[in-house]
Amino acid sequence: MDIDLITNILYATIRTGTPLILVAFGEMVCEKSGVLNLGQEGMMLMGAVIGFVAAVTTGSLFIAILMAIIAGILMSLLFGFLSITLVSNQVASGLALTIFGGGLSAFIGANYVGIGIDGIQPLAIPLLSEIPVIGKALFQQDPLVYFSFFMFALLYFVLTRTRVGLKLRAVGENPEAANSMGIHVHGVRYLAVMFGGAMAGLAGGYLSLAYTPLWSEGMTAGKGWIALALVVFASWKVGRIMLGAYLFGVASIMHLILQGTGYEISPSILAMLPYVATIAVLVLLSSNQTKAKLSAPMSLGVPYRPQL
Amino acid sequence: MFKLEKRPFDSRTMAYCSPLIAFALTLFFGGVLFASLGHNPFTALHTFFILPLSDAYGLTELGMKVAPLLLCAMGLSLCFKAKIWNIGAEGQFIMGGLGGGFMALQFLDAESSWVLVPILLFGALCGLAWAALAALLKTKFNANEILTTIMLNYIALNALLWAVHGPLKDPSGFNFPESAMFANAAILPLLHEDYRLTIAIFFGLFAMVAIWTLISRSWLGFQIQVLGEDKAAARYAGFKENALIWFALLVCGALAGLAGVSEVTGPIGQLIPYISPGYGYAAIIVVFLGRMHPLGILFASMLMGLTYMGGEMVQIEMSLPKSITGLFQGMLLFFLLASDLLIGYRIAKKAPANIEAPSTNRVSA
């Protein structure tokens, strides 16, 4: 393997890992508040299609990204209304969101299949991007990749160092106690769900505007589900989400690596890798029951209904 | 103002009314959607829900869609009764189709319809094996079955793609990603030569009765229900939790696999890259909509089958995208979950603020 290949693998790994990081961050915050939203796939697809349609109609990538985020938030509000206000089963509501988002996005995007746009272009940071090997991977990416780095720092700080993070965790661990402390449990959960929606919408937008600038039905291909597994894998820790997402990134671009080294394997077989990796990770992690239980928010998936 | 008040007991009436309310709401918002697209909502809804069923051909086509939905949904209902969230019917369906298709391709010169026996059995077995993976991951490694079954769905889809692009591709098929057409003997018998409906519908109906009997009349079915209602009680009673999980998942896998192989040896007649229009996922909605009751599931699978036909119909008649099917399915499930709230709660007038219970009760409750 030569240096160019390694550089390109690193570059592609980060690009592939970024949408996973964005969704997984959103879902992690959501789960920290005690809400399990299985609708990531639906929110991502809506973000992807709305972002793409906005890009085609307005020609502005900035508006497109904004619309993708708004689409994600609106979808998450649907879920929030069902699971928080109407105390529905979170598993079923999340599945409903995924099915609904899949249908709605395919419907909206039906006339936009096969259209190409100029996607979000990489933005090289002077000097830093010229560092050998890692320069291209870290500092010659598009703005959303930098945004994922920024979110990592922000979330790490907010979750571990601020009152906001403390409140979020209190609501997820023990909503009754949080309520008696004067925290508005439903309010916090709504905000967390909306943050999750915004991030999933953004990740969808990243796929249709930067990663592969086009729209195709079901283009997220299970990335929302992989992100859900990633949160478990990361034991709800931001740093491990970054690490995990890049590991999945490597698994997803295995074809690139293998081509470089001269092996020939069917692309369909290689496409299985990220899913197999997800299962492997779940197995490794869940076998240790006590540890898995300790790191998960205590009230994850349990609806909270204030007694008035 | 109004507030939600917990009912002392869950309302049975509401449990049965809720799917109807959900359907009514879906109709209403579907109409709004059509109107917003510039179509007359009444003609559009008529095209979607009534027109597909206006002749014998339409009715048999509906039966053709009910068969796989019913098979998958009956299997899923067994899992959901035990609160095993198996989302993997889609993958089990695909593996059934792939395995059965592989078997059918071994009998390309077959003359006798007896070849269907190994084909169907092997298809069901492949679906069962795929579900067994999920059962193994859940019981042995304690991995969340929602995530593992979803991942297995994607793996199954890629396995099918690999097969039709590679080893099972028709050598004389101009390099299309399709297998050879199966022998006529390896195609499920039609109920009537003018229509595409096969005997698969009887598999579905038989599965319905069998699972119904199992759940309501057998000791095993009782154990599965208890496991779903109260895990601790099931453990206390000495029920073997892992064995029950294995059983529910294997039955579901076999039924979904049978649905898959019936589809490829039925209306499709060969292996192609996409053998399921999301039957495995739609079956989840069917189970919820049908209240996990066999008869309810039968009606729900008819309604869900109709959404597929309605989507095709509005595509032909009004040149709207076929994907409107997924939209209607999603709406149905959404509205169902929303109106299910009324099973456990009722809407009551809010009492004046001064006689509200003191807030100190919050923590203890």
Interface test with A, best of B34, B76, B142, B363 (most A CBs within 10 A): B142
Written as one letter, the residue type at A103 is G
Q: Do B158 and A177 touch (CB under 8 A)?
A: no
Is the alpha carbon torsion for A244, A246, A247, A251 positive or negative? positive
Beta strands in B40-124 (DSSP E): none
Hey, what domains does chain A have and what are their CATH numbers? Answer: 3-114+121-295 (1.10.3470)
Nearest residue to B130 (alpha-carbon basis) of B223, B244, B261, B225: B261
Helix (H) or strand (E) holding B61: helix B56-81
Task: Please state the domain extents for chain B.
Answer: 71-351
User: Which of chain A's residues have a Cβ under 8 Å away from the Cβ of B334?
Assistant: 78, 82, 96-97, 100
pLDDT of residue B122: 97
Residue in B72, B342, B340 with CA at minimum distance from that of residue B207: B72
Q: Report the pLDDT value the prediction gives residue A303, as an integer from 0 to 100.
A: 79
The dihedral of CA B49, B52, B55, B58: what is its sign?
negative
Look at B3 and A110 and tell me if their CB atoms are within 8 Å: no
Mean pLDDT of B71-79: 96
CA-only gyration radius of chain A, Å:
19
Q: Which two tokens stand for residue A304?
A: 């909270």
Q: What phi and psi, each to the nearest 5 degrees, are found at residue B323?
A: -65, -5
In 3D, which of B274, B310, B319 has the Cα closest to residue A110? B319
Residues of B whose CB is below 8 A from A282:
137, 141, 143-144, 147-148
User: In whole angstroms, what is the distance from residue B122 CA to residue B60 CA?
Assistant: 27
- In chain B, what residues touch A42 (CB-CB under 8 Å)? 330
Tell how far CA A278 is from the center of its chain: 15
Mean pLDDT of B197-201: 92
Written as six digits, the tokens of B238 are: 């000495």
The answer to whether the CB of B256 falls within 8 A of the CB of B93 is: yes
Whether chain A has a CB inside 8 Å of the CB on B331: the answer is yes
Q: Do A99 and B329 touch (CB under 8 A)?
A: yes
Chain A CA closest to residue B150:
A225
Give residue A292's pLDDT. 65
How would residue B363 be classed by pLDDT, with cut points 50, 70 and 90? very low
Report the alpha-carbon distance of residue B327 to residue B171 in Å, rounded. Answer: 39
What is the distance in angstroms between the Cα of A140 and the nearest Cα belonging to chain B?
Answer: 32
pLDDT digits (tens, 9 = 90+) for B137-168: 999 988 888 889 989 999 999 999 999 998 89
Query: What count of other Cβ atoms lies within 10 Å of the Cβ of residue B233?
Result: 11
Task: Name beta bridge partners: B4.
Answer: B347
Which residues 70-109 of chain B have a CB within 8 Å of chain A? Answer: 85, 87
Please name the member of B155, B288, B340 whose beta carbon is closest to the beta carbon of A276.
B155
| DSSP of chain A | --HHHHHHHHHHHHHHHHHHHHHHHHHHHHHHTT---TTHHHHHHHHHHHHHHHHHHH--HHHHHHHHHHHHHHHHHHHHIIIIIS---HHHHHHHHHHHHHHHHHHHHGGGTT-----PPP-PPTTGGGSTTHHHHHHSS-HHHHHHHHHHHHHHHHHHHSHHHHHHHHHHH-HHHHHHTT--HHHHHHHHHHHHHHHHHHHHHHIIIIIS-S--TTTTTTHHHHHHHHHHHTTT-HHHHHHHHHHHHHHHTHHHHHHHHT----HHHHHTHHHHHHHHHHHHHHTSHHHHHHHS-TTTT-------
Q: What is the spatial distance between Cα A165 and Cα A186, in angstroms, rounded to a whole number?
A: 16
Q: Is the CB of residue B160 less than 8 Å from the CB of residue B271?
A: yes
Q: Is the ipTM of this complex over 0.90?
A: no
Q: Using the beta-carbon criterion (under 8 Å), do B144 and A286 form an inter-chain contact?
A: yes
A-chain residues near B333 (CB < 8 A)? 92, 95-96, 99-100
User: For residue B171, what pLDDT is reported?
Assistant: 86
CA angle B4, B6, B9 (to 5 degrees): 145
Q: How far is A145 from chain B (nearest CA, A)?
A: 26
CA pair distance A144, A94, nearest whole angstrom: 26
Express each pLDDT in B315-350 by its tens digit.
Answer: 898 888 888 888 899 889 889 988 888 887 887 776
User: Would you give per-residue pLDDT tens digits along chain A (308 residues)?
Assistant: 577 778 888 888 888 999 999 999 999 999 999 888 989 999 999 999 999 999 999 988 899 999 999 999 999 999 999 888 888 888 888 888 998 898 889 888 888 888 888 877 777 777 777 777 777 777 777 888 888 899 999 999 998 899 988 888 888 888 888 888 888 888 999 999 999 999 999 999 999 998 888 898 888 888 898 898 888 878 888 888 999 899 888 888 877 777 667 777 788 888 888 889 889 888 887 776 666 667 778 878 777 776 64
Contact yes or no for A95 and B331 at CB 8 A: no
The reply to whether the predicted model has a pTM over 0.95 is no
The alpha-carbon gap from A118 to the nearest alpha carbon of chain B, in Å, equals: 26
Provide, as residue numbers in chain A, all residues whose Cβ is less than 8 Å from the Cβ of B158: 268-269, 271-272, 275
Choose among B148, B162, B330: nearest Cβ to A279.
B148
Given a cut of 50, whether residue B361 has pLDDT beyond it is no
With an 8 Å Cβ cutoff, are A86 and B341 in contact? yes
Q: What is the pLDDT of residue B137?
A: 93
Q: Which residues of chain B does A93 touch, with a Cβ-Cβ cutoff of 8 Å?
A: 337
Q: Does B272 touch chain A (CB under 8 A)?
A: no
Is B143 near chain A, with CB under 8 Å?
yes
- Name residue, tokens 């600038």: A213
Q: Choose among B141, B323, B345: nearest Cβ to A283.
A: B141
Q: Which chain A residues are within 8 Å of B361, Cβ to Cβ? A: 307
* Cβ-proximal residues to B116 (8 Å cutoff; 6+ apart), any chain: B185, B186, B188, B265
Query: Is A37:A79 a contact under the CB 8 Å cutoff?
Result: yes
CB atoms within 10 A of CB B50: 13
Alpha-carbon distance of B313 to B322, in angstroms, equals: 8
Kindly tell me the sign of the dihedral angle through the C-alpha atoms of B326, B148, A280, B131.
negative
The pLDDT tens digits for B23-46 are: 999 999 999 988 988 889 999 999
Q: Produce one character per residue of B275-297: b if its CB has 16 or more CB atoms within 10 Å, e if not.
A: bbbbbbbbbbbbbbbbbbbbebb
B71-351 has which CATH code? 1.10.3470
Q: What percent of chain B has pLDDT over 90?
A: 58
Q: Report how many Cβ contacts below 8 Å link chain A to chain B.
A: 150
B positions 11-40 inside 8 Å of A (CB): none
- Terminal alpha carbon distance of chain B: 24
Question: What type of residue sits at position B217?
Answer: R
| Distance set, CA B1 to CA B4, B121, B347 (Å) | 10, 60, 10
B 192-231 residues with CB below 8 A of A?
Answer: none
pLDDT band at B362 (very low <50, low <70, confident <90, very high): very low
CB pair distance less than 8 Å for A95 and B3? no
Task: Give the residue on B whose Cα is nearest the Cα of A177.
Answer: B363
Distance CA B13, CA B350 (A): 24
Which of B111, B77, B75 has its CA nearest to residue B187? B111
Answer yes or no: are the C-beta atoms of A297 and A31 closer than 8 Å.
Answer: yes
Q: Please tell me the distance from the alpha carbon of residue A222 to that of residue B17, in angstroms, as a whole number.
A: 34
**Whether A181 contacts chain B with CB within 8 A:** no
